[in-house]
Structure 1
Amino acid sequence: MMFAELIPGLIVVAVLLGLLIIRIPIAFALAGAGIYGLVSERPWPAVEYLLSTFAYSSTAHYAYIVLPLFLFMGQMAFSAGLSRNAFDAGQTWLGRVPGGLAAATVFGCAAFSTISGSSVATSATMTRVALPEMLRHGYLPRLAAGCIAAGGTLGVLIPPSGILVIYSIATEASLVKLFIAAFLPGVMTAALYILGIYVWVKIRPELSPKPAADTAPTTAEKFKSLGRAWEVVILFAAVMGTIYFGIATPTEAAAMGALFALFAVLRRPNRTKNVIWGLKETGGATCSVFALVVGAGMFSLGLSTTQLPPLLASSLAGLDWSPTAMILIILLPYLILGCFVDGISMILITMPIVYPIVIQVGFDPILFGLLVTKAVEIGAITPPVGLNAFVVKSMAPEVEIKDIFMGCIPFVVIEIFIVILLITFPEIALFAITD
């Protein structure tokens, strides 16, 4: 392959980077670079016809209804205060072990992630619920804020994950398989976070106070606390249970989840205000995501016209590396890019380039989706951007940003360990997947 064949596609990528550098919104930068690629390779009448219909044709798919439904479900779950019940249950079960409140926070994050699907929403919610409680009990800000920022990343892995929905849209990978494959790694991540907190506090006892010497909760009280979180259980069963057992499609399950979350809000005060607020927030978030989908679609078209993705795929396949080695090379830039770009944008920007390579080398697209999601998690808690860390900071101005990032370091190590596990033992994620 001659380098000259790559130049048109590399110019399209350079145009995208240039637009991003001058702070053009990502959706418009993607569209602009894609239009440049189309215009440079095709006659204008063909480009004009394509652009006149593309915004509709790229988004008018029944399967895409799942996105606003999951967003609405997360907004309603937040308004209903379901995260408080999950945190209280975790506190009852784990409050007397070293670092128990921090472990309970991770438990609350994991539970809320099953009905939220958003890393930012999980971090913001648990900052309100758990941070004041931990600081009041004497936890150092490093552990208290770090476990919330890291626990929030569970929102992008434990189904229903917004990132996995976007990955499915960008690659046409099965959303059902992605959700099923993500469940065990998500639970394993939460468990390793809790174990990591226990070990960290054992090594550094000053991070948290000693467990209270009062009477431990009885078994009946523990299960009663779980009973108060029944709405979370029903929501999770309505979504993942129906998908896993083939009772409903992801879209139908999302509709049921949104309906149950709406009922949860209607049972509480300020129901009208919260429903209106949830609809506004869902509408705004949906518009933002679909603008990115349209822009990414145009970028993918423009890039495909230059033949850059297949050329790169064929050239890398010719290196005769193992699929695992190839994926590791592909994932490295994600760990860096995740520090600067939010997860949804990262998926939509990169998939037109890297996904053909993944398919060409024969790597499982479902497993790759989970690995990319892990890279998004790591990027959300590492500087200089670390979106989750700044969400916690915005909700708790009294906590220093350096303490939040320092508190995230042990969780980054755990994330990298899990990535290694998934690559070495892909059956952890894929054992329940059937063709």
Structure 2
Amino acid sequence: MTAGAQGLLMIAGLFVLLAMGLPIAMALVASGVVAILSVQGWSAADYLLGALPYSGAAEFAFIVIPLFLFMGHMAFSAGVSERGFRAALAWFGHIPGGLGIAAVSACAAFATVSGSSIATAATVAKVAVPEMLKAGYSKRLAGAAVATGGTLGVLIPPSSVMVLYSIATETPIPHLFMAGIVPGILTAVLYAVLIHMTVRRDPSMKELTVLPRAPMKQRLRLTLSSWEIILLFAVVMGTLYAGLATATEAAGYGALAALAVALARGTRWEEVKKGLQVSGASTASIFFLIIGAGIFSVALATTQMPQQIATAVTSLQLPPVLLMILLLLPFLVLGCFIDAASMVLLTMPIIFPIVKQAGIDPVLFGILVVKMTEIGNITPPVGLNVFVVSTTCPEIPVREAFRGVLPFFVVELVVVALLIAFPSLTLGLVR
């Protein structure tokens, strides 16, 4: 059997294990170990498997993962999402769809201190969804607005998915963070436009949901009460881009600042302890994925399959734009079944060699990959953000939320098309 055939068999085996319901990390480890044994033999497998789990996880850059997770939990404990929503409501509540726009704005604001799509959707849903339903929004629109707004958590920096992409491809984290700002704002603006148009088309909803215009004094007061968001974003991104700290140090400063803010807001030490436990548990899960992806990647490399695919694809001499679209299409399918972190760690060993050989900018491709993982977070049957919103707010049926997500799905595809057509939207700040 040729090496390429062994690689195909390895990938087929992985999907069989996933279809059987085996956890993704365990499926990656199992298929990788079997492939290493069959291709390299026992001695090579003994050496690789003895060293790889430690060397793959003992990366100093990985420290940012628990730090950003803890930062997000402390920001939630301090009530940052609720104050951000109240401030956005004061600015947008008087226009059609203002409550929905405020929910998306709160998601964008919380994304600057969270780094997690699921955490953003869950925290904003607790505050925004009951308000939207009470004001007369349909369950379909209320659930969809928060579920899709939550996807901004992995696009607006800091972002855990960007960190994993950086680790998998050796793309600088600061470049990815900077590149995500404009696409994140663009996505939030288009979400707001969609919500505004949806409410305006429904006369009954428009009449019920428009709130009185808040006076300027109240707007400014509520905006100033959300000072934690500005502070935490400035601590992380400011120290990073002023050259005062590396990405790891900036994450540490952000976690410390979030802890200080939470304690200043009256958060109890029991909640701090819970934040450490939750962050530690999530980090352990991510590290298991990283180790599994590392074993899978090494096993795949021994078959020479990624290099063969890269050579074959580049020999077709496809235009870079067409090639980029073809490389992104699998994410639409994978997003229906697996989470964002798994998608990145699973696909990069195969796809990124093609990206490098074709001369595609890795920062641009990274942001596009993050966008595709966003789409995966709102598409059935997995659609983690939709399930999180439905679990947090049981009055929102999952089926209704998925139906409401469809127009936002189209908006996401429009944003991806704009980013491909105008790379400067992504790379302008980086350059």
TM-score (norm 1): 0.96
Name 2:178's counterpart in structure 1. Answer: 180
- Once the two structures are TM-superposed, the CA of residue 184 in structure 1 deviates from its matched residue by 0.8
1:372 aligns with 369
Between the aligned partners of 1:35 and 1:16, the Cα distance in structure 2 is 11
Distance 1:366 1:113 in 2: 20
Q: Are the counterparts in 1 of residues 235 and 250 from structure 2 also a CA contact under 8 Å?
A: yes
Aligned to 1:230: 227
- Tell me, yes or no, if the aligned pair for 1:140 and 1:208 is still in contact at 8 Å: no
Percentage identity across paired residues of the two chains: 48
Return the alpha-carbon distance in structure 1 between the equivalents of residues 277 and 200 of structure 2.
45
Q: In the alignment, residue 267 of structure 1 is paired with which amino acid?
A: A
Alignment map for 1:19-168 (pairs within 5 Å): 19-168=17-166
Shift of 1:101: 0.5
- For 2:325, the equivalent position in structure 1 comes to 328
SS at match of 1:432: coil
Is the Cα contact below 8 Å between 2:75 and 2:262 reproduced in 1?
A: yes
CA distance in 1, matches of 2:176, 2:239: 15
Alignment of 1:306-385 (within 5 A): 306-385=303-382
* Bigger Cα displacement from structure 2, 374-383 vs 262-271: 262-271
Separation of aligned partners in 2, 1:194 and 1:212? 15
C-alpha change, 1:348 and 1:212, in structure 2 (3 Å) is closer
In 2, are the aligned partners of 1:33 and 1:299 still within 8 Å (CA)?
yes
Larger displacement relative to structure 2 (324-333 or 277-286): 324-333
* Amino acid corresponding to residue 196 of structure 2 in structure 1: Y
Counterpart amino acid of 2:339? D
Once the two structures are TM-superposed, the CA of residue 209 in structure 1 deviates from its matched residue by: 4.0
Asked whether the equivalents of residues 200 and 206 of structure 2 are also in contact (C-alpha less than 8 Å), the reply is no
How many Å separate the matches in 2 of 1:306 and 1:128? 48
- 1:349-375 CA deviation, whole Å, 9 max, x = no partner? 111111111111111111111111111
CA distance in 2, matches of 1:68, 1:371: 24
Q: 2:268 is matched by which residue type in structure 1?
A: R
How far apart are the structure 2 equivalents of 1:232 and 1:53?
A: 42
Question: In the alignment, is the contact (CA less than 8 A) between 2:69 and 2:279 conserved in 1?
Answer: yes
Distance across 2 between alignment mates of 1:355 and 1:340: 21
Match of 2:409 in 1: 412
CA drift at 1:51: 1.1
Q: Which of 288, 293, 297 is the aligned partner of 2:285?
A: 288
| Aligned residues of 1:117 and 1:159 also touching (Cα < 8 A) | yes
Q: Residues 308, 348 of structure 1: CA spacing in aligned structure 2 closer, same or farther, 3 A cutoff?
A: same
In structure 2, distance between residues paired with 1:321 and 1:236? 40
Distance 2:162 2:336 in 1: 19
Higher deviation after alignment, 296-305 or 233-242 = 233-242
Query: Residues 207 and 172 (structure 1 numbering): CA distance in 2 closer, same or farther, change over 3 Å?
Result: farther
Q: 1:218 to 1:207 in 2, by over 3 A?
A: closer
- Mapped to 2, the partners of 1:403 and 1:40 lie a distance apart of 48
Name which of structure 1's ranges 23-32 and 293-302 shifts more when overlaid on structure 2: 23-32
Match of 2:273 in 1: 276
Q: What letter matches 2:58 in structure 1?
A: A
Displacement of 1:270 in angstroms is: 4.6
The verdict on how the C-alpha distance between 1:103 and 1:212 changes in structure 2, with shifts beyond 3 A counting, is: closer
2:94–2:214 contact (8 Å) kept in structure 1: no
Amino acid at match of 1:342: D
SS at match of 1:179: helix
User: Contact (CA 8 Å) 1:27, 1:291: kept in 2 or not?
Assistant: yes
Secondary structure at the residue paired with 1:58?
Answer: helix
**Would you say the 8 A contact 1:70–1:258 is kept in 2?**
yes
Cα offset, 1:200, TM superposition: 1.6
Q: Quote how far apart the aligned CAs of 1:432 are.
A: 2.1
CA distance in 2 between partners of 1:159 and 1:295 (Å): 26
Q: CA 1:209/1:241 → structure 2, altered by over 3 Å: closer, same or farther? A: farther
Greater mean alpha carbon deviation, residues 394-403 or residues 332-341: 394-403
Give the aligned partner of residue 195 of structure 1.
Answer: 193
Matches within 5 A, 1:390-409: 390-409=387-406
TM-score normalized by structure 2? 0.97
Change (3 A) 1:74 1:213: closer
Q: Is the 8 A contact 1:82 1:231 kept in 2?
A: yes
Shift of the 212–306 alpha-carbon distance from structure 1 to 2, 3 Å rule, reads closer
Change (3 A) 1:353 1:207: farther
Q: Distance in 2 between matches of 1:298 and 1:145?
A: 39
The farther-off stretch of 405-414 and 273-282 is 405-414
How many pairs align? 431
Spell out, residue by residue over 1:72-113, the C-alpha distance to the aligned partner (whole angstroms, 9 max, x if none).
Answer: 101111111110010000000000000111000000000001
Cα 1:396–1:208, aligned 2, differ >3 Å: closer, same or farther? farther
Letter in 2 for 1:29: A
Amino acid in the other structure paired with 1:26: I
Alpha-carbon distance between aligned partners in 2 of 1:66 and 1:16, rounded to the nearest angstrom: 29
Distance in 2 (alpha carbons) for counterparts of 1:213 and 1:237: 32
CA contact (8 A) 1:155 1:161 kept: yes
In structure 1, the partner of 2:247 is: 250
SS in 2 for 1:321: coil
- Note the C-alpha offset of 1:204: 2.6
Following superposition, the deviation at residue 46 of structure 1 comes to 2.1
Amino acid at match of 1:288: S
- Separation in structure 2 between the aligned mates of residue 236 and residue 295 of structure 1, nearest angstrom: 32
Q: CA RMSD in A?
A: 1.4
1:138, distance to aligned residue in structure 2 (A):
1.2
Residue 269 of structure 1 deviates from its aligned partner by 3.5
Partner of 1:259: 256
